Chains A and B, each alone.
Chain A
């Protein structure tokens, strides 16, 4: 994020406009998306009246961020786009009542539905876009490359309304923040396809969000939005079906109240799930794990959390004993207050601060951590007596060891011993992400390119990119150790793990589903320092030691010209210096077709390219070094039944002993090692974040060669305990 006051672009990461365009698919608007850092509403300010390089009123274009730039950002006029207000309907429009039914009988969600986005082209140039409604002949898909109309074999009838559940780029509200069309404009890096951004329409985004709400159930939503080309720019027209409103021009809202908790509908789980967890829609049965574009649900990213509302067995992904018993998010994360300002005088208090715990990886509003705490295992099962008291059962199973273990180990540690959905482990941006920006670019690791059959996966939005991202998908036993199974992100389609790419991955790996084991660390808890389950999210990127800043995506991307291929099919990143960094590692014995930094020579080449960019920005003595850091994100949901807990058989071997969880396990932080790692540390070419400065090359299979950067579980427990002594207790 850019500072408010900047002397040069060296402290200008992304401006507030970029943040809204990128991040508001989860964040509801309001606050910093509406008011600047001086408290003024941004769409009332003339950008010519603000200081040069003001972080709230300057931004980079999508093309500049994607391809990288060392130039200064541009003024941004919020008066054209509007500020993004907080839309109360994001959470308070009943997700099930009064849903629109599209021409094919599909009922998308009531708020922010995924819709077909149609475009009218003249001489190959788009001059109008229609959300949801197919105006008629001559209109094509806005995404004619990644999601052409031909994907719908049933065809389209003029004037009818269509949803597009499979397309994560097509959320009605979110499309308005950053609308684009394919077929013209900026080329996808390294491919023939192009895309063009039409502007930002933050002011109109809430109106578009209502396009799943059909109050009079006539098959058309209460609002309809078009984007139309004017003389110079595109603008937005908002339409209302006035017959949805009564004679007073008012409307009865199917309002979701916080009272609607634990009534069997799981509406709040689905509302919270819009941003937090993967959840299946009970009406159209779609599983959504994305927010918009590349945005993933926050708790899938960190801990693989989905919420299975209709599990067939207790081993299904997303099963949770409390979910199965009818509890939902609001059961534990809200606090009834009779003095509420909420209209129903019931649950959410006036400031709308939900009850939060103290994730070790998150630090936003630490003052609210456990203040008061959400309902947790110990509170319900011991303190309040709401749930069954497990003390006797533990005593019976473990005898004298029960008390000491219950004191030292958080309940979640043993009762969430497995997570059965994928999550992220490594975000490797050390070669930027400009080279891998296409949502259709799924390489076939066995050579050749696969036919494009899928709806979009990763979309061309400005701030995100793939880099070399690894998913944590399983647990594996090597010759010497048990460890985490990581897979390159390109090999699966997260919305549809059973789809073509998922099947390909399954074929290669022999793995039928996802099942990983959380890492164990010591952390401060409400009951003292305890062992908790967590997922170490790892980032590999660059740190400029001169300015003590992690380099910005536009700087990383500017150092890489693109991806090229040798005549023999080996891929490499071509740097602006002319140096080449090759793909040398892979997955299951196959190259993954993603070049990566895996030697000291690679580090030196990319460092040289980055120095060139930083000098262009005006830095005299840049000192970029490869940076590897990690935070542990707590795993606290998807609680399994008692018979799946660690030690459920009453023995100690699940954790202790030669094959136990503690003694026999290596945590893999990255999917490949770096040759010359120790020398790189010594020479200052590699910097490891102090929080995890114990990670190092590890030989997993005893062949004498290091395979990954990792650490033993035992070491992680020891080091995290040491680290606790340095942190203030909360």
Chain B
């Protein structure tokens, strides 16, 4: 194998690795506000700014995780998990009365949200 061919293979391998590394990275994203608008676009348009030692901040809308991440990911499905629901999935005013093993009729669920 010639030096040229070896170099070509090495280059191809390197490019492949770079491509794979990039493919495993999360693509760049905009931060979106509650209306689904890009907060930076809005902030730049607002023109209201603060400058600290040469660093400029523009006033904008608070970013919305639901809009930002939910545009690609199933936010509603993800937040059905117990870490988010913490008891809400089986909560009810009469839960304590129908679950006597927990002893106390005023409890509304077995989780943080409802029994705390």
A689 within 8 A of B: yes
Question: Is there an interface contact between A365 and B59, defined as CB atoms closer than 8 Å?
Answer: no
A253 within 8 A of B: yes
A256 to chain B, nearest CB (A): 10
Given A1-B115, A207-B63, residue A354 in contact with residue B83 (CB < 8 A): yes
> With the chains together, A204 CA to B28 CA distance in Å?
22
Residue-wise, chain A 325-354 has the 8 Å CB interface mask toward B (1 for contact) of: 000000000000000010110000011111
Residue-wise, chain A 44-60 has the 8 Å CB interface mask toward B (1 for contact) of: 00000000000000000
Picked from A160, A238, A243, A257, the residue with its CB within 8 Å of the CB of B60 is A238
Given A19-B116, A241-B55, A365-B111, residue A547 in contact with residue B81 (CB < 8 A): no
Picked from A240, A249, A549, the residue with its CB within 8 Å of the CB of B57 is A240
Given A31-B88, A224-B50, A251-B31, residue A89 in contact with residue B93 (CB < 8 A): no
Segment touching B, from A3-11, A304-312, A484-492, A557-565: A3-11
Chain A at the B interface: SS class: loop
A106 to chain B, nearest CB (A): 17
Given A30-B84, A31-B79, A249-B38, residue A1 in contact with residue B114 (CB < 8 A): yes
Question: Is there an interface contact between A32 and B85, defined as CB atoms closer than 8 Å?
Answer: yes
> With the chains together, A352 CA to B50 CA distance in Å?
39
Question: Is there an interface contact between B93 and A350, defined as CB atoms closer than 8 Å?
Answer: no
A206 within 8 A of B: yes
Within 8 A of B (CB), among A690-721: 690
Question: Is there an interface contact between B112 and A23, defined as CB atoms closer than 8 Å?
Answer: yes
B77 within 8 A of A: yes
Segment touching A, from B1-9, B10-18, B39-47: B39-47
Question: Is there an interface contact between B28 and A242, defined as CB atoms closer than 8 Å?
Answer: no
Within 8 A of A (CB), among B21-71: 24-26, 28-31, 34, 38-41, 43-44, 49-50, 52-53, 55-66, 68-69
Residues of A within 8 A of B62 (CB): 82, 203-204, 206-207, 236, 238
Residue among A240, A252, A253, A366 with max Cβ neighbours from chain B (10 Å)? A240
> With the chains together, A4 CA to B112 CA distance in Å?
16
Interface size on B, residues (CB 8 A): 67
Give the residue name and chain of the A residue nearest to B39 (CB): A240
Question: Is there an interface contact between A86 and B79, defined as CB atoms closer than 8 Å?
Answer: yes
A14 to chain B, nearest CB (A): 8
Picked from B80, B103, B109, the residue with its CB within 8 Å of the CB of A690 is B103
Residue among A219, A344, A363, A548 with max Cβ neighbours from chain B (10 Å)? A363
Within 8 A of B (CB), among A233-270: 236-243, 245-246, 248-253, 255, 257, 259
> With the chains together, A320 CA to B18 CA distance in Å?
37
Residues of B within 8 A of A408 (CB): none
Residue among A1, A224, A252 with max Cβ neighbours from chain B (10 Å)? A1
Within 8 A of A (CB), among B82-106: 82-91, 93, 101-106
Question: Is there an interface contact between B93 and A242, defined as CB atoms closer than 8 Å?
Answer: no
Interface size on A, residues (CB 8 A): 77
B74 to chain A, nearest CB (A): 6
Residues of A within 8 A of B88 (CB): 31-32, 37
Residue-wise, chain A 2-46 has the 8 Å CB interface mask toward B (1 for contact) of: 011100000101000001000100011111101001000000000
Picked from A204, A253, A352, A368, the residue with its CB within 8 Å of the CB of B29 is A253
> With the chains together, A385 CA to B24 CA distance in Å?
31
Given A220-B52, A351-B78, residue A238 in contact with residue B61 (CB < 8 A): yes
Give the residue name and chain of the A residue nearest to B76 (CB): A30
> With the chains together, A241 CA to B53 CA distance in Å?
13
Question: Is there an interface contact between B38 and A363, defined as CB atoms closer than 8 Å?
Answer: no
Picked from B68, B103, B110, the residue with its CB within 8 Å of the CB of A366 is B110
Question: Is there an interface contact between A224 and B84, defined as CB atoms closer than 8 Å?
Answer: no
Residues of B within 8 A of A356 (CB): 82
> With the chains together, A30 CA to B68 CA distance in Å?
14
Question: Is there an interface contact between B66 and A19, defined as CB atoms closer than 8 Å?
Answer: no
Question: Is there an interface contact between A88 and B65, defined as CB atoms closer than 8 Å?
Answer: yes
Question: Is there an interface contact between B106 and A548, defined as CB atoms closer than 8 Å?
Answer: yes
Give the residue name and chain of the A residue nearest to B97 (CB): A548
Question: Is there an interface contact between B24 and A344, defined as CB atoms closer than 8 Å?
Answer: yes
Residues of A within 8 A of B113 (CB): 1, 19, 31-32
Given A1-B116, A246-B28, residue A352 in contact with residue B106 (CB < 8 A): no
B75 within 8 A of A: yes
> With the chains together, A37 CA to B108 CA distance in Å?
12
B82 to chain A, nearest CB (A): 4
> With the chains together, A117 CA to B104 CA distance in Å?
42
> With the chains together, A557 CA to B2 CA distance in Å?
85
Give the residue name and chain of the B residue nearest to A206 (CB): B65
> With the chains together, A13 CA to B105 CA distance in Å?
13
> With the chains together, A23 CA to B86 CA distance in Å?
11
A529 within 8 A of B: no
A554 to chain B, nearest CB (A): 14
Question: Is there an interface contact between A31 and B86, defined as CB atoms closer than 8 Å?
Answer: yes
> With the chains together, A341 CA to B57 CA distance in Å?
35
Question: Is there an interface contact between A341 and B56, defined as CB atoms closer than 8 Å?
Answer: no
Picked from B30, B65, B72, the residue with its CB within 8 Å of the CB of A89 is B65
Picked from A246, A249, A364, A549, the residue with its CB within 8 Å of the CB of B105 is A549
Question: Is there an interface contact between B83 and A548, defined as CB atoms closer than 8 Å?
Answer: no
Picked from A4, A206, A239, the residue with its CB within 8 Å of the CB of B93 is A4
Given A30-B84, A352-B81, A363-B102, residue A243 in contact with residue B30 (CB < 8 A): no
Question: Is there an interface contact between A549 and B93, defined as CB atoms closer than 8 Å?
Answer: no
Residues of B within 8 A of A87 (CB): 65
A321 within 8 A of B: no
B42 to chain A, nearest CB (A): 9
B21 to chain A, nearest CB (A): 12
Residues of A within 8 A of B103 (CB): 689-690
Question: Is there an interface contact between B55 and A549, defined as CB atoms closer than 8 Å?
Answer: no
Residues of B within 8 A of A351 (CB): 77-78, 80-81
Picked from A28, A218, A224, A548, the residue with its CB within 8 Å of the CB of B104 is A548
Residues of A within 8 A of B25 (CB): 252, 255
Residues of A within 8 A of B93 (CB): 3-5
Residues of B within 8 A of A203 (CB): 34, 62
> With the chains together, A248 CA to B113 CA distance in Å?
41
Residues of B within 8 A of A23 (CB): 112, 116
A583 within 8 A of B: no
A133 within 8 A of B: yes
> With the chains together, A204 CA to B34 CA distance in Å?
11
Question: Is there an interface contact between B84 and A28, defined as CB atoms closer than 8 Å?
Answer: yes
Residue among B29, B60, B85, B106 with max Cβ neighbours from chain A (10 Å)? B106
Besides the known contacts A86-B79, A242-B57, A250-B38, 6 further A-B residue pairs in the complex with CB atoms under 8 A apart = A31-B86, A223-B63, A239-B59, A351-B80, A363-B110, A549-B104
Residues of B within 8 A of A (CB): 24-26, 28-31, 34, 38-41, 43-44, 49-50, 52-53, 55-66, 68-69, 72-75, 77-91, 93, 101-106, 108-116
Chain A to chain B contacts (Cβ below 8 Å), 15 pairs: A1-B109, A3-B93, A11-B106, A28-B83, A31-B113, A32-B85, A87-B65, A218-B55, A249-B41, A341-B74, A352-B84, A363-B102, A363-B110, A364-B86, A366-B110
